[in-house]
Amino acid sequence: MFRRGLQRLLTPFIREDVRNIAVIAHVDHGKTTLVDAMLKQSGTIADAKNRVMDSKDQEKERGITILAKHTSILPKGQRINIVDTPGHLDFGGEVERALQMVEGFLLLVDAHEGVKPGTRYVLRKALQLKLKPIVIYNKIDMAETNIEKSTNQINDLFLDTVEDADQLEIVSLYGSGRGGYMNTTPTKGGTMQPLFETIMQVIPPPKQKEGAPLQLLVGNVDELPDGTKIAIGRIFSGEINVKDVIRVVLENVQEDALVKRIQLYKGVDKVDTQRASTGDVAVVHLAEAKGKPIPLRIGCTLCDPKNVVPRQYVKPDDPTFQIIIREMAAKWKETETKEKMKSRFSNIRDRLYREAMNNTGLRLENVEGNTNALRMLGRGLLHLGVILEDLRREDFEFELQAPDVLTRQINGETCEPFEKLTLEFKPECLSTVTTLLVSRSAEIGETNTTLNDRVVLECVMPVRTIGDLNIKFLQATKGDGVFQHEHAGYQPFASNIDTRRTTTALVAAEAGLTTDYGLSSNKQHGSFFVGTSEQVYPGQVVGDCTSQKATDMIINVTKAKEGQGGFRANAHDAAQRTKSGFTHIEKSMEDALQWVMPDELVTVTPKSVRIRKYFFDGKTTKARKGEKII
């Protein structure tokens, strides 16, 4: 009898109707478009629009996925929970978080481009978690596809990456997410039905030991205006019901909470339910049960208070990049915001800590000696830049110090992060590109030629030497080059490399509106970041001094031509601008951060991005002895 009872307790419970998958790939290989087709053809969303999962404004504008997002499709009474993930390596923390919610994944590979740096990164992370793969060769309807070459690259990649031999059993599909079809052979046309069937056949169903207690791993969190906490996560065992009292476990902290509401995904919508169980991705609304704050964070577990069994959570890779954000102190403070409270650093701090609750790649640290500053640690300039751009759009204003990479001590030696770059361009640009890379201390690796006679060059270089390399590379290739990169680990710090800007700055001497005369009379000194009739302030960096000056140049860009003045002069200047010939280059926030030196600050308001000299005193931009930015 005891043996039969034990056998019953160990019998696994299997949810045959549910599958959990992540969609992973290199950037722009078609993940979000594929999910659009799955939502539409499963009947979940009848009129799924283009990139329906990219709901964030910056995702639509940049054309990339930034946040990992959940959805579910319901083909023929089945439920396939899907996590759509970013492809850009700066958002790798989103991928690492999402992969812990699933049993398998769809690895998309562009049938023309083949394996790219992002492909290697996401596959390595998925296989480390022992997940079951399905490889999809996407975009076979495009011209110049090379499925055989892509297949060979994938086979080689799996051989280099697998954790055990079972992961070499690769099931492949061929099709077009945009065309709305997938097949088991490289055949054009059809529907997504073969994909749905393959997912149900290949990806393991959720299962648990019979009678196992509640174990819900939280992969995302939110909070409503009334204080209700929201946990979004995957149930690995047990069940959860409305009005249950559950325990939230975060490392060594535990608190009880009351379940107010439960929702399941249906497409991009959420549907109320009274109960969720093993295999479900649930949205759980929580209220305090004992008057104590709920320790809700990504990576915590919702458990049965009588049987607490936390789920192991693998933390994302460490940050490699840092930026210090400060309270605005420029002369134009609070002149371009709708609400002055958005300039107070306490509000910026609160907003960033709310961001850090969900953004697994972001860490925040206090800055010694300055209570109105925070150190933001992240995975790269794009990762942190997206967060800062969100702040700007929410009417916050702030200042940013020059970014820097994070070093670490390994076996007693200071080491810095390196990146592996893969560059593709026309053969006639090889000499120019090689010279550019060598100037950035890159170690040149393999150089190959594609079937369409383009050069593919690989190199490794310190992260701190990359800076605006992507911009310079596009200029060198006349906009035709392809720039990809991936983290290549840490190597000893290269102390003989100077990454400082080789040019000095053009600095405004006076406040006022710029004039065409003021700009054109200084055009021989370099290029400008401002155009005609723009408001400038003393100490503002208005251009890049390329005339080999050893120190910054303080110039007057607001002066009018003798005998002319006011509006009439500027109107005349604007009419004559094509004859003046000064170079005007607008800089985005990310461009400015790549350009600034340690004695400069990037000032960001809802309406503008400016650069200013921190030590400017009206006559010089040099720091006095012992003076430094704090």
- CA–CA dist 230, 619 (Å, integer): 55
Closest C-alpha to 116, from 380, 381, 485: 485
Which residue type, as a one-letter code, is found at position 336?
E
575: confidence class by pLDDT, cuts 50, 70, 90: very low
pLDDT at 103 over 90: yes
566: confidence class by pLDDT, cuts 50, 70, 90: very low
Residue 194, SS3 per DSSP:
helix
Quick one: 493 exposed, middle or buried, by C-beta within 10 A (0-12, 13-18, 19+)? middle
- Residue 113 zone, left/alpha/beta (φ > 0; ψ -120 to 50; rest): alpha
Q: Look at 192 and 361; give whichever has higher pLDDT.
A: 192
Closest C-alpha to 221, from 349, 385, 358, 59: 358
pLDDT at 275 over 90: yes
Phi, psi dihedral angles at 619 (to 5 degrees):
-125, -35
Cβ proximity of 238 and 215 under 8 Å: yes
Least confident of 78-87, 403-412, 426-435, 477-486: 477-486
pLDDT at 9 over 60: no
Least confident of 305-309, 349-353, 474-478: 474-478
Residue 226, SS3 per DSSP:
coil
- CA–CA dist 150, 152 (Å, integer): 5
| Mean pLDDT on 180-198 | 94
pLDDT digits (tens, 9 = 90+) for 199-219: 999 999 999 888 899 999 998
Which residue type, as a one-letter code, is found at position 143?
A
Whole-angstrom CA distances from 45 to 40, 181, 193, 267, 382 are 5, 17, 16, 6, 32
pLDDT at 2 over 70: no
pLDDT at 88: 60
pLDDT digits (tens, 9 = 90+) for 359-380: 888 899 999 989 999 999 988 8
Q: Where are the alpha helices (DSSP H) in 440-494?
A: 469-476
| Mean pLDDT on 324-331 | 93
pLDDT at 160 over 70: yes
pLDDT at 570 over 60: no
pLDDT at 60: 56
- CA–CA dist 66, 360 (Å, integer): 12
- CA–CA dist 437, 460 (Å, integer): 10
Beta strands in 493-559 (DSSP E): 504-508, 512-513, 526-528, 535-536, 540-545, 553-555
584: confidence class by pLDDT, cuts 50, 70, 90: low
571: confidence class by pLDDT, cuts 50, 70, 90: very low
327: confidence class by pLDDT, cuts 50, 70, 90: very high
pLDDT at 176 over 80: yes
- Tell me the two tokens of residue 375: 């150190």
Cβ proximity of 104 and 19 under 8 Å: yes
Least confident of 53-62, 252-261, 441-450, 604-613: 53-62
Cβ proximity of 258 and 289 under 8 Å: yes
Cβ proximity of 508 and 518 under 8 Å: no
pLDDT digits (tens, 9 = 90+) for 20-49: 999 988 777 778 888 888 888 888 776 655
pLDDT digits (tens, 9 = 90+) for 432-485: 999 988 888 889 988 888 766 888 889 998 888 887 677 788 788 887 887 777
- CA–CA dist 72, 268 (Å, integer): 8
Which residue type, as a one-letter code, is found at position 535?
Q
pLDDT at 279: 93
pLDDT at 7 over 60: no
Phi, psi dihedral angles at 46 (to 5 degrees):
-65, -35
Angle between helices 117-128 and 147-161 (to 10 degrees): 40
pLDDT at 185: 93
**For residue 16, how many other CB atoms are within 10 A of its CB?**
11
- CA–CA dist 68, 359 (Å, integer): 10
Domain annotation for the chain: domains and CATH numbers: 17-204 (3.40.50.300), 211-303 (2.40.30.10), 324-353+365-397 (no CATH), 409-492 (3.30.70.240), 504-613 (2.40.50.250)
In sequence order, the 6+-apart residues with CB closer than 8 A to the CB of 183 are: 173, 174, 175, 190, 194
Place of tokens 């439920």: 79
- Residue 227 zone, left/alpha/beta (φ > 0; ψ -120 to 50; rest): left
Least confident of 4-8, 308-312, 574-578, 587-591: 574-578
pLDDT at 56: 57
For residues 439, 445, 446, 449, the Cα torsion angle rounded to the nearest 10 degrees is -10
pLDDT digits (tens, 9 = 90+) for 536-560: 999 999 999 987 777 899 999 999 8
What are residue 257's DSSP bridge partners?
246, 288
pLDDT digits (tens, 9 = 90+) for 586-597: 678 888 888 899
Place of tokens 């383009």: 454
| Mean pLDDT on 618-625 | 81
- CA–CA dist 138, 240 (Å, integer): 38
Q: Look at 447 and 573; give whichever has higher pLDDT.
A: 447
Cβ proximity of 41 and 104 under 8 Å: no
Q: For a pLDDT cut of 70, what percent of the chain falls above it?
A: 89
Cβ proximity of 115 and 153 under 8 Å: yes
Which DSSP category does 357 fall into? H
- CA–CA dist 55, 269 (Å, integer): 12
pLDDT at 54 over 70: no
Does the reported pTM lie above 0.85?
A: no
Cβ proximity of 258 and 240 under 8 Å: no
612: confidence class by pLDDT, cuts 50, 70, 90: very high
99: confidence class by pLDDT, cuts 50, 70, 90: confident
Place of tokens 């893969």: 422
pLDDT at 90 over 70: no
Render the burial of 525-564: b for 16+ CB within 10 Å, e for the rest.
bbebbbebebbbbbbbbbbbbeeeeeebbbbebbbbbeee
pLDDT at 563: 56
pLDDT at 488: 81
| Mean pLDDT, the chain, whole residue set | 84
pLDDT at 316: 77
Element (H, E) at 435: helix 430-439
pLDDT at 57: 63
In sequence order, the 6+-apart residues with CB closer than 8 A to the CB of 322 are: 375, 376, 377, 378, 403, 404, 405, 406
Which residue type, as a one-letter code, is found at position 96?
E
Cβ proximity of 519 and 502 under 8 Å: no
| Mean pLDDT on 601-623 | 90
- CA–CA dist 424, 407 (Å, integer): 30
- CA–CA dist 226, 530 (Å, integer): 45
Q: For a pLDDT cut of 90, what percent of the chain falls above it?
A: 39
pLDDT digits (tens, 9 = 90+) for 491-516: 998 877 777 778 899 999 999 999 99
What are residue 254's DSSP bridge partners?
249
Cβ proximity of 300 and 232 under 8 Å: no
Cβ proximity of 208 and 234 under 8 Å: no
Interstrand relation of 245-250 and 239-241 (parallel, antiparallel or unpaired): unpaired
- CA–CA dist 432, 6 (Å, integer): 71
